[in-house]
Amino acid sequence: MERTRVVITGLGIVSPIGNNVPAFEAGLAAGMSGVGPITRFDASALSCRIAAEVKDFNPEDYFEKRDVARTDRVQQLALAAAQEALVDSRLDLEAEDRERIAVYVTSGIGGLASFESEVLQVAVKGPSRLSPFLIPKMLVDSIPGTIAQRFKLYGGTSSVVSACASGTQMLGDALEAIRRGDADVIVTGASDAAVTMTGIGAFANMRALSTRNDDPGHASRPFDKERDGFVMGEGAGILILERLDHALAREAHIYGEILSQAVTSDAYHMTSPDPEAKQIVRAMRTAIERAGLSPLDIDYVNAHGTSTPANDRTESFALQTLFGSRAHLVPVSSTKSMTGHLLGAAGAIETIACMLTIKNRLIYPTINYVTFDPECPLDYVPNIARSSDVQHILKSSFGFGGHNVSIVLGRYAG
């Protein structure tokens, strides 16, 4: 039985290198770094004092002033990206059956800034001063709820949390929901806004973050031998997934096709990847097989590529195992070198980058790549974007807890 085809018809983003898709697109092509000194709070007491922050974002452009105080930044970024994606899709919501449009949007951490602020408030003034809005500001499922409420979308909401694999898994879950017949259209993606004292401090104390404080623009350097940790980022990426026949009936612009998803678990360690990478390879291979393809059909890999020593080494080993003797011929790049690591939102904005790769026939680079690491011996598209007529993309994300998620994306061919 032929499976329902699902295409991507709208993109929306708020990121450290651009607060809309055209700006993001230009930043990727230019190899722009979005990393700089932290401005959202005083980070002087921390070992890591840099992050990839969203700049010049005004929530009052999207919310009434009273509602800004009732929502966390993680919801605000998501709504802004969703609004752009819906406009870009040219969906006429007045003509659509809103009961057939769902919202599958998630986050790795949720409303951390609100939680942190209110805990400090309790310590000083006691529990009676807690905001009655804390719980909805904090909960991950308030993010799709905010979007569904704004646009009156009744097709159901979902928020699957799998740490830094959350955004990619959410896209795959949306794919399967459309194939099941649950919806015709799904607004999907992820948002994270954990650049706070608690967020940065906790990851820094795990020694997961770069401490290249004096050179922030070169701090995120995936696969480079001198990498010393990831750089925290914030932002949101939202995509409109749509059943192909529905998209064709309304003559929608199609960016590309989402072909498959596979999920596995390392069952190895809470924060470290299994160095043997068996389950990472199984996720990649299964996603490719479910797409009806073989590894020979993959002509670009958008990597998880966090810029941590263990993650990049393990991912490189997994790709060598997957592609065998052909591994050095397959371009691999990590756009985290530009955006930093957006935690649960990373996979969503990286999938948008993949759609722009297909659109522009341009593989975006791994910037800050200077020193070859013999444990990472692949073609990482160093520093400069590369022209390429990409047809099939393997996109993987990995999260604390041993979550491995791979999806396969393709150029739409009528």
Query: Among candidates 322, 258, 300, 318, which has minimal Cα distance to 388?
Result: 300
* DSSP collapsed to 3 states, 242-310: EEHHHHHHCCCCCCEEEEEEEEEECCCCCCCCCCCCHHHHHHHHHHHHHCCCCHHHCCEEECCCCCCHH
What are the structural domain ranges in the chain?
7-249, 260-410
Over residues 24-40, the mean pLDDT reads 98
At 119 the three-state DSSP class reads helix
Task: Report the share of the chain in percent with pLDDT over 90.
Answer: 95
pTM of the model: 0.97
Q: Choose the catalytic residue: 48, 164, 354, 376.
A: 164
Q: What are the residues whose beta carbons fall under 8 Å from the beta carbon of 111, sequence distance 6 or more?
A: 72, 73, 74, 75, 137, 138, 139, 142, 193
Kindly indicate the confidence band of residue 122, based on its pLDDT and cuts at 50, 70 and 90: confident
Kindly indicate the confidence band of residue 71, based on its pLDDT and cuts at 50, 70 and 90: very high
Residue 2 has pLDDT above 90, yes or no: no
Residue 1 has pLDDT above 70, yes or no: no
Kindly indicate the confidence band of residue 152, based on its pLDDT and cuts at 50, 70 and 90: very high
Q: What is the pLDDT of residue 3?
A: 87
From the centroid of its chain, how far is CA 163? 11
Exposed e or buried b per residue across 195-215, where buried means at least 16 C-beta atoms within 10 angstroms of its C-beta: bbbbbbbebbeeebbbebeee
At 79 the three-state DSSP class reads helix
Q: What is the pLDDT of residue 170?
A: 98
State whether CATH 3.40.190.10 applies to domain 260-410: no
Q: What is the pLDDT of residue 144?
A: 98
Q: What is the pLDDT of residue 233?
A: 98
Average pLDDT of every residue of the chain: 97
Residue 230 has pLDDT above 70, yes or no: yes
Angle at 288 between CA 339 and CA 85, to 5 degrees: 40
**164 catalytic residue (yes or no):** yes
Residue 128 has pLDDT above 90, yes or no: no
Q: What is the pLDDT of residue 267?
A: 92
For the stretch 343-365, pLDDT in tens is 999 999 999 999 999 999 999 99
Over residues 299-312, the mean pLDDT reads 97
For the stretch 206-222, pLDDT in tens is 999 999 999 999 999 99
Over residues 158-177, the mean pLDDT reads 97
For the stretch 76-106, pLDDT in tens is 999 999 999 999 999 999 999 999 999 999 9
Query: Is-same-fold flag (7-249; 260-410)?
Result: yes
Q: What CATH number belongs to 7-249?
A: 3.40.47.10
